[in-house]
Amino acid sequence: MNETTETATRKRALSCIQPSGALTLGNYLGALKNWVQMQDDFDCIYSVADLHTITVRQEPAKFRAQIYSTCALLLAIGLDPARSILFVQSDVPAHAQLSWVLGCYTQFGEMSRMTQFKDKSARHAENVNVGLFSYPVLMAADILLYQADFVPVGADQKQHLEIARDIAVRFNGLYGDVFTVPEPYIPTTGASVKSLQDPTKKMSKSDENPNAWIALLDTPEDIMRKCKRAVTDSQARVCIGEGKDGVNNLIGIYSALTGRTPAQIEAEFDGQGYGVFKQRVGEAIVEALRPIRERYADYIADKAELEAIYRAGAERAAKIAGRTLGKAMRKIGFAF
């Protein structure tokens, strides 16, 4: 992604992910697979958002390992540093600097209405810190620093994108055309993967039941075991239907991995029980994740090369971020 005329004419998309634990099959089919495809159409910037992660207390050695692991996994799924920018958020100080500036243009009432603050405060009542409260402003800085045209968002992030848009519009209204006002990017493909144990909820790495979710780095044996234990129903018929949340979820996963339509899947397993179906779903997951696990093993084995990739990405990101930060600071009146 060099500064060429070709890339300059493309719209820019920005995506961030926290290094806060194992990435799941739900993360991959719901978002990360689309990140790979977006490289064909957009000028893409991807960030490992480690600054966001410390709103919850982290064990230092584990936290550091998760940053490495997340970078390696993003490369393993197909993010290409020759076509996109991949970097670690804390390697670009402009994120924290612009966050302070934007915080001075954000109202307390706006932050008080953020639903994720309320949810996380309830889950971490022993550590309701200021960072947890103001983290949407840091997220706004993440986006606005890079003049992003589009930001892929899930349902739980829509409110954060809205506040970023509001801040950009407010700042631009005071100082002129400083920030691009970002739009949500809704991909044409993307599966909503549910918990294997409670298919009324989305698959999440924070689920206390380890059988509820599949990590991208799970062993084939673990994947098969979790699929065999997946919740279904008593009908023993593979078809989409009301009240068949568990089966609907497995059909959705199988469809996303094989490209078959639900109707084709129903025909494939007509007259067969759930045992056969779960076996095939497990096998499809194992085969889809096998090349990712293999590439991950190569990246994580060479920490020096891994660091070189994301440090180089940070240098490229810092140039873009520095231009935006400088413009914003000068507009306010800083001798920047």
Record the tokens describing residue 156, joined without a space.
Answer: 């739980």
Determine contact, residues 74/48, Cβ cutoff 8 Å: yes
Residues 155, 30: contact at Cβ < 8 Å? Answer: no
Tokens 């400088």 belong to 326
Bridge-based pairing of strands 150-152 and 85-88 is unpaired
Report in angstroms the alpha-carbon separations of 9 from 45, 82, 83. Answer: 15, 18, 15
30-50: string of b/e by CB count within 10 Å (b at 16+)? Answer: bbbbbbbebbeebbbbbbbbb
Location of structure tokens 């007509």: 270
Read out DSSP for 203-254?
A: --TT-S-GGG--BTT--HHHHHHHHHT----SS---S--TT-HHHHHHHHHH
Q: End-to-end CA distance of the chain, in Å?
A: 28
CA 159 – CA 114 distance, rounded (Å): 7
Q: Catalytic site residues?
A: 120, 202, 205
Regarding beta strands 43-48 and 150-152, do their DSSP bridges make them parallel or antiparallel, or are they unpaired?
unpaired
Rounded CA separation 106/100 (Å):
10
Residue pointed to by tokens 């002129």: 176
Apex 172 CA angle, 167 and 174, nearest 5: 100
User: Rounded CA gap, 296 and 23, in Å?
Assistant: 12
